Structure 1
């Protein structure tokens, strides 16, 4: 589809499927069993950094182009309007019926969930079927602050070598994330893991890739080393799938585990996305594999897939009466995939595409927002 990168859509599709497998594995208890396979399943929350990185890459790139190529910068009001239309209609389509069916919130609770404020109040257990939604306030917070960050970076870059100064300015953001981790542990305010500063490192990695892609630097080297980078990503994912990066159970990680997890997740996300974002050779094997029509389409509907998969899993357990941490993994994977995929396709074509047309953009011009996973680096994730 014109205006899209099929391989990046393929990455988004794989990450979305990883989120779904993570939650089926959590509900069936499979990811809490012994063995490396279970540990690696429990780290499929790597989808969070990947999707946040993609947001930083795709959304900051027009501003990077404005600095480096003197192109027109996005108008903040129009940009924010498009972001709201891109996210909120589909989010409300799922959240409203789920809250009606499975929650007993008062009006303040409804306001909190409908306006994406659930991360900023006293933390309570999420309503059934909405445990994945903690990442939505993080994503929306980035949308809101990006025009300010872009303006500050633009002013900073005017003082010299623009690409280098942009990268130096962006390098401040990971320091904010590291500081957030340390502060959350020092003050025992673990809900800070649900706020944007904790995750800025992932968005910053995408913003840096946006600068490099516009600048045109590093593409040949990344292309030549693409297989090695992807193998290294797999090896680091294996390291991530150990206690070095924290427990699998509902216990809090230590400070060192949280820091290791932040570093490892950032590294894996960069190594996975860089060969496609910085060396976009559509004739390469990696692009043909991830950019195939099925994967690309799955990437386009991934936001709806993210929204619907948790309610579908929850509904399966309620209808069958199965206790949590039980159930046949293969059966639940099969049933929930088919139902979620059908709902996602309908939601995408009937709601998301209509919202995109209302915003003045065709469906091919606007990348889907991330389909994040409910697995923050700290506190420990809920199944």
Structure 2
């Protein structure tokens, strides 16, 4: 029987596979429990992309490389750029309005700007934000990693594929190039998957093999004589059971895929299953059951919307996480509905008109590419400008009252006399130090110099350190240990190999710089936290961590180590001041400060902590700290808790409507100013005591 001709440009069953891929990804992002391996939908997209881009240019006549390159890139530009630009610009504006600046969002806008040119994946890999980490769930541009992989592949593809149009042995050369590249890529993914999972997951080098499988499928079919412009009415009997088996394998991979095994070897199953389905369904008539299922009208509609739906669903879901939350079925359905509406609008009013515009079709291919590059640069510039205007655009209480919320925001502080303090940062080993020193001021120095050492909880005193230096004329030197506490008396953190190294570097750099009368301040989180910036934390193990026999023994061991450090400090003539366990909240305040956050699950425990409950929680650590400093005369424990939570009731994270904490355990700028008198008094008292002891000794 003679095959019947069909249009070459469109393979409808491919849209059906795209529908499966995008639905898998969307369901996974909406709630991973609904489809645990749904993230593998992206791997389906990669195989489809490789197959479709190869088929789209596989029958072109021999031409020059510049002509081939401009033809290919212009088609990709028209397909990808318009909807991407609109989505990134709208996302950037909405993020500026609703998402406050925080550690949880610090890499967001940089990722967005790089995403205009397909390099968002490089930023995600650079900052080590693993796709499955909580911080990635709060970046509205995380999903652009896969677009980055594809766009980078589109720059490489013409270089590898151009010789295909030469025919003959050159086609075997092209196939060999993709085979070699795919094998190297798979080996590379296997090699770095365990040591640098973020890079393995995000970067083209470890994903090339998936796209290459799609390309090689087309090359193999073409070299075998398979037609791409006909339908074969004869379907082998074995094809249906084989197709059912492969389709089942694909669905199983969307349920059982494990994040730690991706991209290699975990993606092998969905990649090969997708390639097998593409090969089996090619040229089959519409009556074939799988073709009929994949070309069912709703599947075709979703498939045609797949690019726009992929673009829009993630920013919408992330915005919901930042505001009302996605903890209920109702909020998830609302987020999905908004994403679908935006996808339909994008497809109808952005994607389709641009692709069908007569003027664009009539333009030279090079001109189309040039205009696309200019549009992308313009979008990136606008995005950067919007980001710079975030403090004025935002309607969040955090941004509107930044001085109260952020503990270290101002680069320079100045008093009425013209004295100023500009914190200066310099690298120390694997960490850094920040120096707060008064300039342009003749007022006398009225307090001792302070050396502080610790992690982000030490950095959270930045506003207080600037004010202390400005008011007293003393110098404050803050050593940051890159996320590691200092004398936290929690060995599982203090004794981590990296923390031992970084804390040791800071201590050895600080000790020779200490002088008689200086004060070394050691703030740290010394009780378990209830919440992180992204979610509430499990609390079942807190009693054992605080009150258990093993915990008490570990504190005793840590105290012995701490005493040695305090003795080394005392030997320089300086005095040590440790921070007592400060209040910790059960909600991250910066995420619970606006009316639209009241339903967010992360705010469910409220901003009030039972005073008696917390005092009981901190009692064992507080006793250990007093016992430790009791062994080293001249050392003290400074307690900010009575100022943060005055006697007379429970502890509220807000005082007069102003925040005492930024998140759940880092002090706010307002709390810094509130604690300054108590801190200054404690430092002066310690200095005076030290001076008296020295005078008595003389």
TM exceeding 0.5: yes
Name which of 142, 145, 169 aligns with 1:131. Answer: 142
Specify the alignment match of 2:244 in structure 1: 231
Q: Which string of whole-angstrom CA distances, capped at 9 and with x for unpartnered residues, describes residues 2-32 of structure 1?
A: 6422221111112111111111123xxx35x
Following the alignment from structure 2 to structure 1, what is the Cα–Cα distance between the partners of residues 153 and 188? Answer: 16
Using the TM superposition, give the Cα deviation of residue 200 of structure 1 relative to its aligned residue in structure 2, in angstroms.
1.8
Asked if 2 retains the 8 angstrom alpha-carbon contact of 1:56 and 1:207, the reply is yes
Following the alignment from structure 1 to structure 2, what is the Cα–Cα distance between the partners of residues 318 and 189? Answer: 26
Using the TM superposition, give the Cα deviation of residue 355 of structure 1 relative to its aligned residue in structure 2, in angstroms.
2.0
Using the TM superposition, give the Cα deviation of residue 101 of structure 1 relative to its aligned residue in structure 2, in angstroms.
2.7
Following the alignment from structure 1 to structure 2, what is the Cα–Cα distance between the partners of residues 347 and 241? Answer: 27
State how 1:224-373 maps to structure 2 within 5 Å. Answer: 224-237=237-250, 240=253, 246-247=258-259, 252-253=260-261, 259-276=264-281, 278-322=282-326, 326-328=327-329, 331-332=330-331, 334-358=333-357, 359-360=360-361
Specify the alignment match of 1:181 in structure 2: 189
Asked if 2 retains the 8 angstrom alpha-carbon contact of 1:142 and 1:196, the reply is yes
Specify the alignment match of 1:369 in structure 2: none
Following the alignment from structure 2 to structure 1, what is the Cα–Cα distance between the partners of residues 246 and 199? Answer: 29
Count of residue correspondences: 330
Q: Structure 2 vs 1, CA of residues 114 and 271 (structure 1 numbering), >3 Å: closer, same or farther?
A: same
Using the TM superposition, give the Cα deviation of residue 312 of structure 1 relative to its aligned residue in structure 2, in angstroms.
2.4
State how 1:37-56 maps to structure 2 within 5 Å. Answer: 41-56=35-50
Specify the alignment match of 1:88 in structure 2: 81
Q: Which string of whole-angstrom CA distances, capped at 9 and with x for unpartnered residues, describes residues 172-221 of structure 1?
A: 23202222213424764741431112122221221122224434557989
When structure 1 is superposed on structure 2, of 182-191 and 166-175 the one drifting more is 182-191
Asked if 1 retains the 8 angstrom alpha-carbon contact of 2:62 and 2:165, the reply is no
The structure with more helix, counted as a fraction of residues? 1
Q: Structure 2: any 5+ residue segments left out of the alignment?
A: 1-5, 130-134, 363-533, 535-698
Specify the alignment match of 1:159 in structure 2: 169
1:60 aligns with 2:80: no
Name which of 18, 26, 34 aligns with 1:20. Answer: 26
TM norm structure 2: 0.42
Following the alignment from structure 1 to structure 2, what is the Cα–Cα distance between the partners of residues 57 and 42? Answer: 26
1:205 aligns with 2:210: no
Radius of gyration: which is bigger? 2
1:75 aligns with 2:68: yes
Q: Structure 2 vs 1, CA of residues 17 and 333 (structure 1 numbering), >3 Å: closer, same or farther?
A: farther
Asked if 2 retains the 8 angstrom alpha-carbon contact of 1:46 and 1:269, the reply is no
TM norm structure 1: 0.73
Following the alignment from structure 1 to structure 2, what is the Cα–Cα distance between the partners of residues 336 and 57? Answer: 32
When structure 1 is superposed on structure 2, of 348-357 and 289-298 the one drifting more is 289-298
Specify the alignment match of 1:37 in structure 2: none
Specify the alignment match of 1:150 in structure 2: 161
Aligned to 1:116, the other structure's residue is in SS state coil
Using the TM superposition, give the Cα deviation of residue 291 of structure 1 relative to its aligned residue in structure 2, in angstroms.
0.9
Bigger RCO (CA 8 Å, 6+ sep):
1
Following the alignment from structure 1 to structure 2, what is the Cα–Cα distance between the partners of residues 148 and 321? Answer: 45
When structure 1 is superposed on structure 2, of 146-155 and 85-94 the one drifting more is 146-155
Q: Structure 2 vs 1, CA of residues 182 and 17 (structure 1 numbering), >3 Å: closer, same or farther?
A: closer
Using the TM superposition, give the Cα deviation of residue 234 of structure 1 relative to its aligned residue in structure 2, in angstroms.
4.5
Using the TM superposition, give the Cα deviation of residue 136 of structure 1 relative to its aligned residue in structure 2, in angstroms.
1.0
Following the alignment from structure 1 to structure 2, what is the Cα–Cα distance between the partners of residues 19 and 242? Answer: 12
Following the alignment from structure 2 to structure 1, what is the Cα–Cα distance between the partners of residues 111 and 144? Answer: 14
Q: Structure 1: any 5+ residue segments left out of the alignment?
A: 32-40, 362-381
Q: Which string of whole-angstrom CA distances, capped at 9 and with x for unpartnered residues, describes residues 30-53 of structure 1?
A: 35xxxxxxxxx1212222122111
Using the TM superposition, give the Cα deviation of residue 144 of structure 1 relative to its aligned residue in structure 2, in angstroms.
0.9
Following the alignment from structure 2 to structure 1, what is the Cα–Cα distance between the partners of residues 116 and 165? Answer: 34
Specify the alignment match of 2:576 in structure 1: none
